[in-house]
Structure 1
Amino acid sequence: MIITGRINAYILLVGIACLWQPTAQAQQIETGTEILKQLRLQELQERSAASRAKQLHYELQVAEAESAIRQLQQPSTAAKQSAATESETTQVALIGWTERQGQLRYLLRVDERIVRVWDGIANSAGLLVKRDDDRLSVSIGKATYQLELLHEHY
């Protein structure tokens, strides 16, 4: 009981001592709270600025993409003439093909490029290959080329 009384007396003394210094602690708490508020406000402002910058960057990318799409949809007369002469001089040759899971994949030489394309599926360059018996139709944009397959090749 003596020990319990001493502990209770110590707790009472500490409580009284805390009562003597409430203004200093209150000021420290208030100062700390103000600092936290300022830091949170600064963080929110930085996030807002970063968010605005990201939004503006995204809007700029969208505008550039829309502009590029418009330009592609309405080619100039020089580009039309260039495309017409290019399609007239395009050379297409079948190098070979492979079969995977029942689907054919062709290896073509288009002018100086080597291109791989699945049968009936257009690739990213806009090439489409379709096989009809002993013929191969190769579509490049609006131009279509017919390749005749010889029996010894398959």
Structure 2
Amino acid sequence: MRFLSAPNRQFWVSLGGALSLSMVACTSNGASSSPAAPQLAGTQWEVQSIGGQAVSGGKVPTLAFSASMDIGGHGGCNEYSGQVSLKGTALTVGPVMATKMSCGPVQDRLESAFLSALRNAKQVKVKDGLLELTGASEAPTVVFRQVKP
């Protein structure tokens, strides 16, 4: 087996580096390959289903996004607030704080399920007036319908 001499090796390493850089420059047009982030600032939503189960009757959980991507709403019993960030459709939910009033077993279970799904959301999708939050699995965890302010 024959090894390249130092000058030849330097030439091929330099050429390989230059080709790599030119390939990156040709394929990168400044656009991200991830899907565009949905425009959520200033929108308000009402829960339709959690974990595939329809939500109706009583106080239905809500979700509102401020211009600075603070979130807040009614969890089914208590008011809550927090922050989110979006990168494409990837969602990061920061700490969510809620008041601690009890509203009875049914509303307390609804709120617990909603806040748990919200805290564990990883992806967001908006289509046909619906907002879907998904967790680790790809099935929608929470589905909302848009509410006009």
Whether TM-score is above 0.5 comes out as no
**Smaller-chain TM-score bracket:** under 0.3
Structure holding more helix per residue: 1
Q: TM-score if structure 1 supplies the norm length?
A: 0.27
**Bigger radius of gyration:** 1
Q: Which has the higher contact order (CA 8 A, sep 6+)?
A: 2
Q: TM-score if structure 2 supplies the norm length?
A: 0.27
